[in-house]
Structure formats: C-alpha cells, structure tokens
Structure 1
Amino acid sequence: MKNFSKLLEKYAELTIKIGVNIQNNQTLVINSPIECADFTRLLAKCAYNVGAKNVHVEWYDEQLLLIKYLNAPDETFKEFPKWKADQYEQLAKEGAAFVSIAASNPELLKDVDPKKIADSRKASSIALKIFREYTMNSTVAWSVVSIPTKDWAKKVFSNLEEEAAVEELWKNIFNVVRIDTDDPIEAWNNHLKNLNEKVEFLNNKKFNKLHFVSKDTDLTIELPEKHLWAGGGEYNAEKTYFVANMPTEEVFTLPLKHGVNGKVKSTKPLNFGGNLIDNFSLTFKNGKIVDFDAEKGYETLKKLIETDEGSHYLGEVALVPHNSPISNSNIIFYNTLFDENASCHLAIGMAYPTCIEGGSDMNEKELEKAGANNSLTHVDFMIGSPELNVTGETKAGEKIQIFENGNWTF
C-alpha cells in the first residue's frame, strides 16, 4: 500500500492525541493482541513523544485463549486473577489512560461451549467491576481502536487471498477513521463538532420517548426525565477531552429501564465472545426481554441475556445515520467497534451513568431510582437500516421525526 508507514504513523498519532489525549507525565495502558505488536510499539513511541511518563502493555494471544477454552477444567472459567483486577484498579486510580485494540477473530470460539464463555465473561466482569466504573463514568480517558489481523481480514473479505484481504481491510479502516485525509486531526475536530450539534439538538428537545419502526421492528423506548445525550468525545475527571471509540458516528443516551416495549430485530451479525449471533430478535415488555430468537448463535444469545438480572434490560440507545462512512462502505466488519457505527443500535446491560444528569456522582441505588439499568455486561447490537424511521415525542405530546429512511431529518 502506498505511503503505508506514513498512514500508520498518522493513525498512532491520532489515537494518542485525539483518542486518549495523553497528558504530560501520564501513564498509558495498552491492551493489544500480540499480532498487533508493530502498531502497539508505534503507539508507545508516540505517547512518549507527547510526554507520557510510562507505557504499560497488556498482551494477549487468541490461540492461547482457544487452547485454554478447549483444554482447561470448567472451574477455571469461573475465576479471574485478583492481582490483575487490582492492577487495573490501581492504574485507573493513579489517572492512567487506556487504549484497547479490538481485532479479534469473529469465529475463534465457535466450537467452544457457550457456558464456558459466559462463565469467563461473568467472572471477569465481577472482578473488574470497580475498574469498569472508572471507564463507564469517564473518570479516566480511554479509547478503543482497531487494526487488521489475518483471521479477521479473511472473515471480512473471504473472496480474497490472505495478504490481499489484510490490505483491503487496512484501506477501509484508514478511510473510516479519516486517516487518508490531508490532516486527520483537523478532520476529526470537524467531525466531532458535527456530532456535538446533533447532541445539542436532542438535549434541547428533551424527548420523553422514541419510536423505532421498520420492516421487522416496532419498538417504543421511554427516556428518563433527566437523560443526557452524548456523542463524539467527552471530558474525564481531570477535564481532559478524549474520544472513547475511533471510529465513532453515534449519539447515544440511556433508556428508562422499565420503559421499553415492542419487538426489535438485528440488522447485522453480532460478534460476541468469539461467536457470531445473527438474525436475532428481542421482544420487550416493561423494559424486560420476555422473548428472543436467533437464526445463528441462539445459545450464545441466551447466555448473554442470562448474565444477570440487568442483562434482561437495555442500557443504551444510539442513533447512527445510514448515510455514514462505515455504512457506505457496504462492508460487514464482524467487529462491533465498526458495525455499531454503521447502524442505529441498542445495548443489552449496563447504562452509562454519564447519560443522567449528575449520574457520575450517584451510587447504584440512586442511578436505579433515576431510571438507569445496572448489569455486569454491556453489549451493543445493530438495528439500523435504510428503512428505519425514528420519531421523538416530548412530554407535551409534540412528535418530531428524527430519522427518515435511516437518516437524520435535520
């Protein structure tokens, strides 16, 4: 690929300067697959160049993970190392920033018992509960980015040889994260400004409920009285502006926990824990999932919903126009970071406290009283399409069409 090294350097710089916005004398923590080592080293170099005090890397190897799932005893998956949870909590307490590289093989664990995966995710969620509060409350700066791996690229571009598939995935990632522009940082500043305009419009309207309608979806979502829309970037506890997802095309808030009714159908596959869940539908009554079905990955979906009481409810509703860079690529990435930013989506599980006025300072009982859902999990799934219409209704009964045929009306 022409100028590949230069584009990669721009990507690393964008991640460090816009994604987590590293400050002088700050520690950076990078979670990275070993296959992404070259990019991880670039991130570290860039972080030091802008003043980072230290860069700590947590490596993981998917093949070792698969070996573990296929060979370790069942009780192994019900445990999570306390020392590791303590490490993350301590780093967050000290004000570190966190970058995660999301580049998993979508079907790595397709032959693994879904119960083992569910047990492992639950154990890690319990152990990392305090650390997750640092990220869910935006106390620390964090960002998720991605680069191609061979298995992932071959899943996305199965008609191409491995090397060509990786190159094609690189081209598309560079495009949707605006790296192939003359000045990616300026391009992102303009993009964030546009997202903020949508956020301001929705917050000013103070909608009481949203109605989603398409061929297979008819869903009403009530919103808490003091809900807040967010999108693009946000400020951490130190008032440092960061962008949690790169790419990002969404504006989002939280549903009223017991205010979701109707049926919704997925429009893109969900890569969850190394398994694909596809063509699935959920039926809600008073906020709770009372029925569900899936053409592929039914047992995995069942285990997800049964994680805890809160995983029977929603924690996020996000609006993403169909006419957007990722959607216009007409590619299913089998990676939630990308697919959720090509489509309106919902999330099963925990709500972001930052989407309630004063939520970051509330305890669990106060958040629940305000209408927010609490759970060990938070999993986005896609519901957007070119046919989706979304109508907002104010407390006074005024109805405003927000989305028509998959896109913003304003």
Structure 2
Amino acid sequence: MDDRIHAHAETLVDWSARIEAGDDVVVKVSEGAHELGIAVAEELGARDANVVTLYGSDEIDRAYLRNHSGEFDENPPHELALYENADAVLSLGGGHNTMATADVPSEKRQEKSRATEGIREARMDTDWVSTVHPTRSLAQQAGMSFEAYQEFVYDAVLRDWEALAEEMAKMKELLDEGSEVRLVKENTDLTMSIEGRTAVNSAASVVYDSHNLPSGEVFTAPDATAGEVFFDVPMTINSQRVRDVHLEFDDGEVVDYSAGQNEAVIEEVLETDEGAKRLGELGIGMNRGIDQFTDSILFDEKMGDTVHLALGRAYTSNFPEGTEDEANESAVHVDMITEMGEDSRMEVDGEVVQRNGTFRWEDRFEE
C-alpha cells in the first residue's frame, strides 16, 4: 500500500478527529476508498477505539431512491440511534461514478433530505470529519491523470496544519472584530453582515471546529445579504454540472437567479425550504497547497484565491453560546465558489483585506 495512504489515515485519526481509546467511531467507506478504509481501521485499532463500518455507495443510493415511493419515514430510529451514540463519524469519500445519482428525481432527493434532517443533525453533533481517497473517477472529473490527481490530493492533505492554522488566525481575528464584509469583482457587489458572529479557523481538526480534510478556510455565518454575486467556478450539484450562477439578494434572501448551465438545479435547491433562500456560510479559501480547480467542493472551496458562499444551513459553531438558535435552518447546505483574482477585492468594514487574490499580510499585496 502507498505510504501516503497510511499518512492520510494517521492525519485523519490523530490530527483531525483526535480519536482516543474507547471512543465509539462510525466509519463510512465509499466504494472506491477501500484502501484508505483499511489504513484508517489499522489506526483506530491501534488506539483501541470501538468501530462500526458502513458501506457508502452512490449507486446503491440511486437504486434505493429511484424505486422508493417518495414517502420517507422521518428520522428512522435505527439509523438515528447509531449517530446519537457515536463519538466520531469518519466519512471516506471516493466513488466509482461521480454522476451516479444524476437521474434521481429531484422531488425524492428533497423529500429524503427533509425527512432525515434529524439524523444529519445527530451526525453533526459528533466529532465528524469528511475526507476523500483519490480515485480514477475523481481524477477524470478533475481532468487529470490518476497519478497527477494522487499528487494533488496528498499535497492538499499532508500539510503543516499547525503553521496554516497560525496564518488563518489573522483572518479569523479580522472577521471576529468586523461587522460587514463586501465582495467586489465583475458582476459582483455583495455586502453581508457578520455582526455578533464567531469565525471558524478551519484547520482540518475538530479542535478548531473544523470537519474537512483537507481544509484551509476561515468561515462565518452572514446575515442581511444584499446585492449580487457571480459564481464563475463550475461545480457539480446533485450530480449535475452547474456553471455561471448569478444570484441577487435583497433583505437576506435570493430574489432572482440564473445559471449558464443547469439552472433547474439552482431552482431545486432554492425550493427545498425557506432557509435555502438565505446564506448559511461565507468561507474564505486559504490553502495554497490547492492550486487548481477539480470540480470537487472539498478541495475547490479551500483554494487560496477563492470565496465560497453556501445557500441553506448555517453552522452553530459560528454563533456565540446562547445564540445558536439564530442560525439559519435548512435541509440543504450548497456551496458555490467565486474566484477572487484580477480586479477583485474583499473588504471588512470598508478596509481592503484581500486584493486580486492576495491577503494584506502577504508580500504581493497592493494597497
């Protein structure tokens, strides 16, 4: 087995999830992530954790959903109990076909998502971490050879996370002390309130309230969104490729939208519930180890000259204790990315903190 797989597993178990002896751990292994699953099991066994392993497959999900009546039981107790009794949930992504569920009717996807919201919340109450094992299907989606894609993934995952956490703390401080963020670029002029929020320094560890490996972003929960934003980075949403999404906001809600490809997907997201029309996240990518787009939100949203915004559910980690009920609620959390490159700027309370993709503490920053 490739030594990098063992290093990936060790980083996931020790740095990211902080697994200790006696922890009850659920490991969900996608069909293409078998080798990483073995390496993770070795690490968990060496730490005397208690493990339940689940098999994750988009093709199985497709078969189930396409043949279901569409009337789903709310939060089935047998599944809910699994997550309510878990200390940690590790999700190892990497399937055989990234478009496996593309022909599942949107109504069934929406209904299933609404019916299992309690299960999703129970999972998120654990020390959950999601990562991905490099597979040929993901390499193909990224437009890369398998070997090149492996190098890309491990460059993003096997990082000096402590050093990156120290750098990202500068952005967290700016957001914690600020009250308004403004994004300006072509077809984008968007303002968001961040008053009273707590930004998360997402350094790929539950200690930082961070649940993705790789990570490398600072995110917060915006409010009172107004203006327009253009997402120029293509992405796959609900197994369909979406391009050139334009959203207009007024009083915190989407009031108009368009897309250059698969506009119906955006409509499907927005119609999920009332919370889907509002933003749940403003995320600022800061992982310079990610240097190209791969049509994977796990990587692309962390890239150092990007900003992503998510429609739907907000994370309670962005709200001070006692104010968690202010978090936007939704059955969805859909990230979309805009590149902060040439002729762009991000302001916090009127002060430019990033220009043309460069942060103000970096050498290339232009006043």
- Name the residue aligned to 2:103: 111
Query: Which of 92, 99, 103 is equivalent to 1:101?
Result: 92
Query: Which of 294, 301, 308 is equivalent to 1:333?
Result: 294
Shift of 1:202: 3.3
Looking at structure 2, the residues matched to 261 and 200 of structure 1 have their Cα atoms a distance apart, in angstroms, of: 24
Where is the helix percentage greater, Structure 1 or Structure 2?
A: 1
2:134 counterpart SS class: coil
Over aligned residues, Cα RMSD in angstroms? 2.3
Flag the 1:112–1:38 CA change in 2: closer, same or farther, 3 A: same
Is 1:89 equivalent to 2:59 in the alignment?
Answer: no
Looking at structure 2, the residues matched to 219 and 23 of structure 1 have their Cα atoms a distance apart, in angstroms, of: 44
Note the residue ranges of structure 1 that are not aligned, 5 or more in a row. Answer: 135-139, 179-183, 394-398
1:25 counterpart SS class: coil
Tell me the percent identity.
22
Where is the strand percentage greater, Structure 1 or Structure 2?
A: 2
After the TM superposition, list the runs of 4 or more consecutive aligned residues in structure 1 that deviate by more than 3 angstroms.
76-82, 233-236, 240-243
Looking at structure 1, the residues matched to 329 and 57 of structure 2 have their Cα atoms a distance apart, in angstroms, of: 31
Looking at structure 1, the residues matched to 219 and 171 of structure 2 have their Cα atoms a distance apart, in angstroms, of: 10
Q: Deviations over 1:214-239 (max 9, x none)?
A: 11211111123x21111134986xxx
Query: Which of 134, 137, 142 is equivalent to 1:148?
Result: 134
Looking at structure 1, the residues matched to 238 and 71 of structure 2 have their Cα atoms a distance apart, in angstroms, of: 17
Output aligned runs, 1:117-196, within 5 Å.
117-125=109-117, 127-132=118-123, 134=125, 140-157=126-143, 165-178=145-158, 184=159, 187-196=160-169
Flag the 1:129–1:337 CA change in 2: closer, same or farther, 3 A: closer
What amino acid is the match of 1:294?
A
Shift of 1:408: 1.0
Looking at structure 1, the residues matched to 279 and 190 of structure 2 have their Cα atoms a distance apart, in angstroms, of: 12
Looking at structure 1, the residues matched to 154 and 103 of structure 2 have their Cα atoms a distance apart, in angstroms, of: 32
Is 1:60 equivalent to 2:23 in the alignment?
Answer: no
Flag the 1:295–1:108 CA change in 2: closer, same or farther, 3 A: farther
What amino acid is the match of 1:199?
K
Q: Deviations over 1:136-186 (max 9, x none)?
A: xxxx322111112232222222xx6xxxx33221111011113xxxxx5xx
1:107–1:274 Cα contact (<8 Å) kept? yes
1:18 counterpart SS class: helix
Is 1:282 equivalent to 2:233 in the alignment?
Answer: no
Q: Which has the higher contact order (CA 8 A, sep 6+)?
A: 1
- Name the residue aligned to 1:220: 191
Note the residue ranges of structure 2 that are not aligned, 5 or more in a row. Answer: 362-367
1:403–1:409 Cα contact (<8 Å) kept? yes
- Name the residue aligned to 2:2: 5
Looking at structure 1, the residues matched to 74 and 137 of structure 2 have their Cα atoms a distance apart, in angstroms, of: 28
- Name the residue aligned to 1:181: none
Shift of 1:27: 1.9
- Name the residue aligned to 2:315: 352
2:235–2:241 Cα contact (<8 Å) kept? yes
- Name the residue aligned to 1:396: none
2:245–2:257 Cα contact (<8 Å) kept? yes
2:182 counterpart SS class: strand
- Name the residue aligned to 1:230: 200
2:269–2:276 Cα contact (<8 Å) kept? yes
Give the paired residue count. 357
Flag the 1:362–1:58 CA change in 2: closer, same or farther, 3 A: farther
What amino acid is the match of 1:218?
D
2:276–2:311 Cα contact (<8 Å) kept? yes
What amino acid is the match of 1:246?
L
Query: Which of 228, 246, 252 is equivalent to 2:213?
Result: 246
2:27–2:53 Cα contact (<8 Å) kept? yes
What amino acid is the match of 1:90?
N
